[in-house]
Structure 1
Amino acid sequence: MERNRSNEKKTRIPSGAAVQSAALTDQLYRAFFEEWAERGFAALSLERIAARAGAGKAAIYRRFHSKLAFAEAALANLGPRVALPQDFGSLESDVLSFLMSLRSVLRHPLIRRILPDLHAEAARSEEMRAINTRVAAIRRELGRALIDRAIARNELPASLDRELALDLLPATLYWRMVVIGRTPTRSDVRAMAHAISTALRGAGDNCVEGGE
């Protein structure tokens, strides 16, 4: 029987076609963070990153047009790991879940070595400062969902200063783990969740009293 050559042409993958593998993208992200942790952002080499990931440099440029674009994508990829898809029933329970999720990310040795260098680079570079601001905005949206849920449950007033609330959510844990370099116990995190929830309610009370 003669082959249907028209169908064969439709299903054949073109020679040399670039297929972006999600697994390879994840390998590139990890290699990027490993190089960043070892050498600092200024000394990053895309050639070394590609070699570490077992890929060619072209695999990077098919995905990211520059080292800065690569950095932004890699950092943004961390955001979903701190997401809160579930409603845990109360402000304090939601805050605790958020902190435990964030603790899991921040305790990774690569992340703890990268973040101080990220802030230092952002202080020197307008481009990196802009990236840091955009990535931070993505993470803050995750916290905003938590605050909105508490408002919907009438645990916090709609007049709450959301920007202040979003500053409060990660601040204590971030300071302890990234600035001081200590990993809090689960008991410590529970105490933080209670303190932050109390502070948020207090901030909400002040908004109501102030008529804002």
Structure 2
Amino acid sequence: MAATKRAPAGAAVLRGDITAAIRNAVMHELAEVGYGRLSIEAVARRAGVGKTAVYRRWSNKLEMVLEIVSGVAERSVPMPDTGSFATDLQLTMFIVSKALQHRIASQIIPDLMAEAARNPKIAETLNKALRTHQTALSEKIVGQAIERGELPKGTDPELAVDLMLGPLYWRLAVLRTPVDDDYLEKVAASVMTSLGATPPAS
């Protein structure tokens, strides 16, 4: 008779549903009270678990928030591939603007940006996540446009992404002013002009 395989003595078996509940609770707590007032006790209470369940996964509040926020921030953003830089640009700006106006993200992002000025670890985490998105956009949307001849070969990919997304972060994350389709169209047109974009070669 084969012996039943057991987990090593003393090994913690972390249930996925509990981890998911804690992650969800952290995001909602961050949105409601901010990082400064967030506590392990409040997170555990919202998740419907004991504090020990949280401490089995993370040793402190900073570690918990950094891992969870990093996981959310580094999720892949849909990259349009319509065959036209103009349309890719408009869709990208629409997607990002909707993400920044999400009821939870719109509360968390400004708060963490403020915390980043005081906490180097939070600053590093946010910078890494943003750079990941910038690199992906540079390689996909800007790179394709250069290959199709819609953008000059000497176009700086990072500068192009700054021009594309900078106004959205400024309006939505800093000024916290809603944007509409008309604003997105005007910014997209300005970006096209600034980058010297031309229609795709026939």
TM-score category of the 2 structures, normalised to the smaller one: 0.7 to 0.9
2:65 partner letter: A
Q: For 1:116, which of 82, 86, 110 is the aligned residue? A: 110
- In structure 2, relative to structure 1, the CA distance for the partners of 1:44 and 1:94 (3 Å cut) is same
TM-score w.r.t. the length of structure 1 is 0.77
The worse-fitting range, judged by mean Cα deviation, of 55-64 and 154-163 is 55-64
Q: For 1:125, which of 116, 119, 127 is the aligned residue? A: 119
- Cα distance in 2 for partners of 1:96, 1:46 equals 41
Aligned residues: 196
Measured after TM superposition, the shift of residue 80 of structure 1 is 5.4
Residue 51 (structure 1) aligns with: 45
Residue 33 (structure 2) aligns with: 39
- Cα distance in 2 for partners of 1:61, 1:186 equals 45
Structure 2: gaps spanning 5 or more residues: none
- In structure 2, relative to structure 1, the CA distance for the partners of 1:75 and 1:158 (3 Å cut) is farther
Structure 1: gaps spanning 5 or more residues: 205-212
Measured after TM superposition, the shift of residue 137 of structure 1 is 1.6
Q: For 2:150, which of 151, 155, 166 is the aligned residue? A: 155
- In structure 2, relative to structure 1, the CA distance for the partners of 1:70 and 1:198 (3 Å cut) is farther
Residue 193 (structure 1) aligns with: 188
Written as runs of structure 1 = structure 2, the 5 A alignment for 1:52-67 is: 52-67=46-61
Measured after TM superposition, the shift of residue 117 of structure 1 is 1.7
- Cα distance in 1 for partners of 2:190, 2:69 equals 29
- In structure 2, relative to structure 1, the CA distance for the partners of 1:102 and 1:62 (3 Å cut) is farther
Measured after TM superposition, the shift of residue 62 of structure 1 is 4.2
Deviations 1:44-79 (A, max 9, x none): 111211221223334434443432232223333333
Residue 29 (structure 1) aligns with: 23
Written as runs of structure 1 = structure 2, the 5 A alignment for 1:170-185 is: 170-185=165-180
Deviations 1:114-144 (A, max 9, x none): 2222121111122222222222222222322
TM-score w.r.t. the length of structure 2 is 0.80
Measured after TM superposition, the shift of residue 24 of structure 1 is 4.1
Identity of aligned residues (%): 31
Written as runs of structure 1 = structure 2, the 5 A alignment for 1:10-21 is: 10=5, 17-21=12-16
- Cα distance in 2 for partners of 1:44, 1:126 equals 18
The worse-fitting range, judged by mean Cα deviation, of 65-74 and 145-154 is 65-74
- Cα distance in 2 for partners of 1:43, 1:146 equals 39
- Cα distance in 2 for partners of 1:93, 1:180 equals 27
CA contact under 8 A between 2:80 and 2:141: conserved in structure 1? Answer: no
Residue 160 (structure 2) aligns with: 165
Deviations 1:170-204 (A, max 9, x none): 111222222222222233323322322332337x9
- Cα distance in 1 for partners of 2:143, 2:60 equals 36
